[in-house]
Structure 1
């Protein structure tokens, strides 16, 4: 393929923000508000099937019917308003975790971004997260040098339908002025893969503990990480055999999707 741009998902792809940032931040917010429940890893993996943080909170309240204690009246009066308040508190703790440097980039992310930029391959961020949630990730995890090579950002509040709908990928490609034949998506989840495929994009999936058991049929390549010296990648699915890490050449030789 002609590789002109790489489109990066954020949570779970750039960094393990779900397990190291978002879930602990939710639990800190629940404790601060005097709520008796906590989200463990197994439950959180189920909640990740929802397309965003507010959606996860709302789904949890409606499906699991937790004991809300003194919050019951507020939830009954206006669930969406209560969810917004919890999410705002969670976001404060999430930014604090980012600022403290508790969530590093996954292996190979910085390497591939630099290699792509040096080769004239354009870079975009495509995420269900809001720009407000995304900003601390860009500022504190990626830093100014890597942020400067990101040309386009497409975030969740800009579209009517988040992933697994293709809207965000289509928005990013429109801003780049490119087609799916020119781009590769990097994802970590089945939801993100479905969005990329619906937009006609070949996708590389880098699994993590929250997603490794999901269905990645349709991915061009599934790996443990992008890999780098000292932290090699392991191919879990796809052609090409063993490789020390995912390179621009790896991406150029991905099979092009037959259907969108």
Structure 2
């Protein structure tokens, strides 16, 4: 039984720009912190895995003094944890409002995989409540219970370290050769590749210009047929999967078989 494992933010929905960024800024405002991230600033922050870790990039000696924060490291960690809990609440409210739709093709492809007997999972360094709220929107109430969710601080090192995907593969009880990951960022791709997994990339708001060398397929979206009619644009297809207007389960099965056959290497285009 193969498995299809999605990252959350940027893959299930374009949540970074329209969910996480406003949630961070509202949190900063509520706590009276002298900071507000612009869109361009946040484009750099997303390269840091994990919400608490992004917040901790603020903690220069100058910022700590200006904000009147405690100097004791343990007390400062507790304060960041308070910020992050509130940020997660705000973010979850944004997602549950329905303001951020699922990205094209996610529910279609997950449904096709489930019907074909594939295991489904989400592996993310975001907080688990945040991930589950996005999954409910993206997959819907009928399909989302069929997903395993691996999220937050369940592993010591976050992406681009391979820990979260190694954990997911172990919990799913599968060999790496049977798992295909859908990511949107270079850090996520490196995490999947580091765990020995085949990775497809669907670029998102902040990641279109990143280097995805090593991915088996890079597309602008997974795509949807009419009436939604979102056509994918293929950016890189080194194994010749040729998904054309949208990515189907057969394309992913081809990548999984091709990408994990060291004896033959890449197969010719179909």
**Does TM-score exceed 0.5, indicating one fold?**
yes
The structural deviation recorded for 1:240 is 3.8
The 3 A distance-change label for structure 1 pair 15 and 75 is farther
The structural deviation recorded for 1:79 is 2.2
The structural deviation recorded for 1:28 is 1.0
Name the SS for the 1:7 alignment partner.
strand
Which residue of 3, 7, 13 corresponds with 1:15?
13
The structural deviation recorded for 1:179 is 0.9
- Of 89-98 and 235-244, deviating more is 235-244
Return the alpha-carbon distance in structure 2 between the equivalents of residues 68 and 101 of structure 1: 39
Ranges in structure 1 where 5+ consecutive residues have no aligned partner: none
Deviations 1:200-231 (A, max 9, x none): 11100000121111110000000001000100
1:82 pairs with 2:85: no
- Of 138-147 and 223-232, deviating more is 138-147
Q: Within 5 A, what are the aligned runs for 1:194-233?
A: 194-229=190-225, 230-233=229-232
Return the alpha-carbon distance in structure 2 between the equivalents of residues 137 and 123 of structure 1: 15
Match of 2:259 in 1: 256
The 3 A distance-change label for structure 1 pair 157 and 242 is closer
Name the SS for the 1:76 alignment partner.
coil
Which residue of 149, 155, 167 corresponds with 1:153?
149
What number of residue pairs does the alignment pair up? Answer: 252
Match of 2:268 in 1: none
Contact 1:234 1:242 in 2 (8 A): no
Ranges in structure 2 where 5+ consecutive residues have no aligned partner: 263-270
- Of 157-166 and 236-245, deviating more is 236-245
Match of 1:245 in 2: 246
TM-score by length of 2: 0.87
Contact 1:186 1:204 in 2 (8 A): yes
Return the alpha-carbon distance in structure 2 between the equivalents of residues 52 and 122 of structure 1: 25
Deviations 1:97-150 (A, max 9, x none): 012111111000000001111111111111112223323223344332121221
Contact 1:101 1:141 in 2 (8 A): no
Contact 2:10 2:205 in 1 (8 A): no
Which residue of 95, 98, 101 corresponds with 2:98?
101
- RMSD over aligned Cα atoms: 1.9
